[in-house]
Amino acid sequence: MRMEFSSNGPVNTPEFGTVKDPRSAKPSNEMDGVAHVVKGVRYPALMGVGGWNDPRVPPWEPGKFVAAVQTGSASSKPVLMKIN
C-alpha cells in the first residue's frame, strides 16, 4: 500500500491507483498478499523469490509476504525465501 511513495511508485499510480483516494486504494489493498494472510490457516509449501537488482520490486516486498506466511501458517510445510 505504500509502494507509490517509493522511487518507482509514482509512475504506477495511473495503473494501480493512489492511496490518497479511497476508491482507487481498495483494489490495491485487494492485491496486497500480506494483508490477506490469515493466522492459523494451513498454507501449502511456499517459496518467495526476489531479485537483488530488480528495480521494479525490492526484495523486502516478497520477504514481508514470506515472513507473514511463516508466522501465520498452521502447517509444517516449508516457507522459504530466495534472492537472485
Q: What is the pLDDT of residue 72?
A: 96
User: Exposed, middle or buried by CB within 10 Å (0-12, 13-18, 19+), for 16?
Assistant: middle
Model pTM? 0.79
More confident residue, 61 or 7: 61
Q: What is the pLDDT of residue 6?
A: 78
